[in-house]
Structure 1
């Protein structure tokens, strides 16, 4: 990825970043998150629930490896595994999904909506 694309996408509003996420992970067939020896990074939402965080590229995830996530590394997740295992498991656990945090905000999207959007995008391939 070039630096300009990374900078521009980090400045998009959360809905545009979500749309970019769907397209990019469909293109490259992988999703990215951050983890350390304790596990995957999580956030607390305003309502007190826990959210797992995902990014479209390694570069985007690494830009968020700061503050409480400073000692984390970007790890890829195969898109098929994300769709078949991760999202159903997240839904069963009652955990939220935070898409494309940019060190300011992210968008929380219901699992069923993410699945639907990914299936629709993947039909284009």
Structure 2
């Protein structure tokens, strides 16, 4: 990814970054998260526990700042994300925060995220 594309994508609104996330995750069949003695979690403004996910390593690295500066991007295979992660997160009541930039992100319901991923994967 070139720097011009990177800069353009991180300036997009959260809903458009969500669409970008769905397409790139389906293209590369992987999801990125941040890890440091466990996967990074946070809370949204409603107090929900969230776990941020990214479409590419570069975006995860960009988010690893300040209190998460020691975190490393780690890849999750898309099949594992769909079949293990999302059901486990739903059980544990941890919401997926899709493609955060600064403090702007889309917190998505599991069923919607799963449906959108499956619909996109049908194109392949």
User: TM-score under structure 1 normalisation?
Assistant: 0.97
Matches within 5 A, 1:37-116: 37=37, 39-116=38-115
Counting matched residue pairs gives 124
List gaps (5 residues or longer) in structure 1.
Answer: none
Distance across 2 between alignment mates of 1:55 and 1:97: 10
What is the CA-CA distance between 1:46 and the residue it aligns to?
1.0
Distance across 1 between alignment mates of 2:18 and 2:75: 18
Partner of 2:22: 22
Per-residue deviation, residues 22-74 of structure 1 (Å, max 9, x unmatched): 0000000000000102x111111111121011000000000011011100000
What RMSD over aligned residues (CA atoms) do the two structures have, in Å? Answer: 0.7
Distance across 2 between alignment mates of 1:4 and 1:26: 22
Q: Which runs of 4+ in 1 moved over 2 A?
A: none
Distance across 2 between alignment mates of 1:58 and 1:12: 18
User: TM-score under structure 2 normalisation?
Assistant: 0.98
Distance across 2 between alignment mates of 1:49 and 1:120: 27
